[in-house]
Amino acid sequence: MGTPLGDFLRLKRDSTQPEQLGLPEHGRRRSPGLRRADVAARAGVSVEYLTRIEQGRDRNPSVAVLHALGDALALSTAEREHVRYLAKITGDECTGHLGPEPARREVRPSVRETLRLLEPGVAVVTNRLGDLLAWTSAYAAVAAGTGLLDADEPNLTRYVFTDPRARSVFPDWDEVADEQVFDLWLGPKAENAEWLAAELAPAAGPEFTRRMNRHKVPERGVLRLRHPTAGELRLRREYLELPSDSQLLLILLPDDEATSEAIGRLRERAGRGRLRAIS
């Protein structure tokens, strides 16, 4: 049985071509990408050891081995961080640990106060499962008309995969979908698995399940929104981790003057609302 770490390393090896790393071609192959022997040689480990990691038979590679494999596969900084996380949860599976505690839905008073101080900015508190837990009135104004906040307990991941409006709201829907699926790997494992099995996977269909097992690390560039009345908005994203709560504070900043002016008009049209928090 494979592991998340082994699956990621194998998928990365299969998707990397020899010429990308300056390696010679070896003629036609039965499978794409790099040979295990190429990666093992670059990492300074045996082919047999790399095979054991990829197949899940070695669940606790050392930090030095992970670093060497990152160098061998020319992983980005974000991909190296993902490898370290996958190594942790793979080791936890082996030792019987369940990983992080279930994500809190309650937003602490100090975090709500921080949101108030961010007005009139566009900001939201969320978690790795995509639950939207509290937001500024400016966020509500930007989301108005998209359907994102229509549910009693809105969830961005569910919205992206099950609401047909999402493909219009997000012009770069494929990238947004990859981001949401990737974040699920960082969510609380017990709650994550229960939610996926019971609700999201059946409703989201193959677009979701195909992404879930390919471990594509997102670049998270400028987020484009096609607002139903304000037109296209371009937003830069800044994240503040709230590790004790397993939550994130996401701040959306206008990337250009046109977006800044459009958000101002949306806020004026909506009026000054109250901070919303779900508990």
Q: Dump pLDDT digits (tens) for 157-200.
A: 999 999 999 999 999 999 999 999 888 877 766 566 667 657 78
122-127 and 247-254 strand pairing: antiparallel
User: Higher model confidence: residue 28 or residue 42?
Assistant: 42
Q: Which of 36-40, 67-71, 210-214, 222-226 has the highest mean pLDDT?
A: 222-226
What is the distance between the alpha carbons of residues 132 and 126, in angstroms, rounded to a whole number? 5
**What type of residue is 18?**
P
Tokens describing residue 37: 């022997």
Instruction: List the beta strands (DSSP E) in the chain.
Output: 122-127, 132-135, 223-227, 231-242, 247-254, 276-277
The confidence score (pLDDT) of residue 98 equals 44
- Mean pLDDT along residues 83-110: 70
For 43-64, give one letter per residue: b (16+ CB within 10 A) or e.
bebeeeebebbbebebbebeee
For 137-157, give one letter per residue: b (16+ CB within 10 A) or e.
bbbbbbbbebbbbeeeebbbb
Q: How many residues comprise the chain?
A: 279
The confidence score (pLDDT) of residue 41 equals 92
